[in-house]
Chains A and B, each alone.
Chain A
Amino acid sequence: MGMVVSKRGVLGKKHIRMLEKIKESLEKLNEKIEIIIELQKHGGREIQPLPETPLDVMTLLSMPDHLRKTAMTVCRLGRATAEEVAQQTHRARAVESAYLNQLVIMGYLKKERKGRKAYFYVEKENQG
């Protein structure tokens, strides 16, 4: 902590704000790149998220381990940002963001933007 305080002292509030903005922009950029990577994996074809697909336990069982971990965490949390999922899985936020977006493209999760944050959730529209 001491290091951070001293750095802040040197940098000043204005610089910190600037760095935060840069970080934010990089994260946004990163998210876009992840989607582009996904698109390329599908032969560059324009892919629309698949029609809503139920995220049931048999589907979870058949998923690759890395995606199952992310999907299970969203199931448990109900609705979560990449940051919140990362806290649970102890993986990097950017990694979770990539997996979450992949799950959205596969039709298992929905994504909703609220201000600067993106929330991921299992479609509940049809829950009676």
Chain B
Amino acid sequence: MGKVIAVHSYKGGTGKTVLSINLAAALVKHGKKICLMDLDFRAPSLSTLLKIEKADYWLNDYLNGICGIDNVLIDLTERIRDGGKLFVGLANPTTEAIRDISAKDRKWEMRALGRLLSLRNTLLNDKGFDYLIFDTSPGLQYSSINAIVSADLAIVASTLDKSDVEGTKRMLKELYDLFEKKTRIVTNKVLYGENIKSVKDVRSQMEELYGVPILGVIPCFCDVSRAKGTLIFVEDKPDHPFTKIMDEIATELEKMKE
């Protein structure tokens, strides 16, 4: 059976979306059938980054109960050469849709959780997806907590920024632990300096700090920032060190699944 992964972070701008897209692509390269979903309804970005201007139905519509998940998913398999399959579900980026979803009440959020939970059956069991990857809103918000509760694994993207590290530590204790969620950290945008000289340093320091395994350490790559999110590095820059790290993380995820 497949797995559901929620990519989350305490703060915004930690690289969740770039990580989600590239992890999805790396797993597709490994021959997997992947569904990538934009659950960041407050600041949708997948539609822009993947250059899909219009969708017949959005994930908003699925959570509102006006369509099935089949209507939402868009086949992007041709975007990744040689591999498995890639489907995406997008969040509606219009201001009206963002406003609409921000005004939902607890009851709606409860039903949304039910719908997210049911994706396990419809997509993993019935449609044979290997992984569902949820790109979420940062911090403690309904949509992101719903995603975390529905997931088997939470990947938390964190930078070395002090407030980010402290917030991530708090979330580990007060969010993921409470839901008994398997959690892994990806330390992103690492700049090496006096105290941190290597990947090994980051791993040991972060593992001690967070008390959970570090899934990956990603240096701050100017190329990644320069691409403005418009490249899928794993596909478009196969020899880039960032791609290599994504491939390693994907391999690690597959090992965890076994």
User: Do A and B come together as binding partners?
Assistant: yes
Q: Which residues of A contact B (CB under 8 A)?
A: 54-61, 65, 68-69, 72, 75-76, 122, 124, 126-128
CB distance from B173 to the nearest CB of A (A): 12
Cβ of B114 under 8 Å from chain A: yes
Taking a contact as CB atoms under 8 Å apart, the answer to whether A128 and B110 are in contact is no
A interface footprint on B124-163 (CB within 8 Å = 1, 0 otherwise)? 0000000000000000001001100100000000000000
CB within 8 Å for A75 and B107 given contacts A57-B145, A57-B146, A68-B178: no
CB contacts (< 8 Å) of A75 on chain B: these are: 113-114, 117, 149
Taking a contact as CB atoms under 8 Å apart, the answer to whether A54 and B106 are in contact is yes
Q: B111, A127: Cβ atoms under 8 Å?
A: yes
Set B107, B111, B117, B142: member contacting A76, Cβ < 8 A = B117
- Is residue B65 contacting chain A, with contact meaning CB distance below 8 A? yes
B175 close to chain A: CB less than 8 A: yes
Secondary structure call for the B interface: helix
Q: From residue A13, how far is it (CB to closest CB) to chain B in Å?
A: 40
- B64 proximity list for chain A (CB < 8 A): 128
Say yes or no: is B179 at the interface (Cβ < 8 Å to chain A): yes
B109 lies within 8 A of chain A by Cβ: yes
Q: Could you tell me the distance between the alpha carbons of A65 and B145 in the complex, rounded to whole angstroms?
A: 17
How many residues does chain B have at the interface if contact means C-beta atoms less than 8 Å apart? 18
Residues of B within 8 A of A128 (CB): 64-65, 111
By the criterion CB–CB under 8 Å, are A54 and B149 in contact? no
In the complex the two chains form, is A72's CB within 8 Å of B65's CB?
A: no
Could you jot down 9 A-B contacts, CB within 8 Å?
A: A55-B110, A56-B106, A58-B106, A58-B142, A58-B145, A59-B106, A60-B179, A61-B175, A127-B65
Question: Which 5 A-B pairs rank lowest in CB-CB distance, beginning with the nearest?
Answer: A128-B65, A57-B145, A54-B110, A56-B110, A54-B107
CB neighbours (8 Å) of B180 from chain A are 69, 72
CA distance A126 to B109 in the complex (A): 12
Contact B114 A124 (CB under 8 A): yes
Given A72-B179, A127-B65, check contact A60 B149 (CB 8 Å).
yes
Chain B 87-130, CB within 8 Å of chain A: the 1/0 string? 00000000000000000001101110110010000000000000
Q: Is the beta-carbon distance between B142 and A57 smaller than 8 angstroms? A: yes
- Within the complex, what minimum Cβ distance (angstroms) separates B141 from chain A? 10
Report the minimum CB–CB distance from A112 to chain B (whole Å): 18
CA distance A101 to B235 in the complex (A): 53
A57, A58, A76, A122 — most chain B CB neighbours (10 Å): A57
List the B side residues contacting A58 at CB < 8 Å. 106, 109, 142, 145
Q: Indicate which residue in B65, B109, B175, B179 contacts A56 across the interface (CB closer than 8 Å).
A: B109
Chain B residues with CB below 8 A from A57, complex form: 109, 113, 142, 145-146, 149
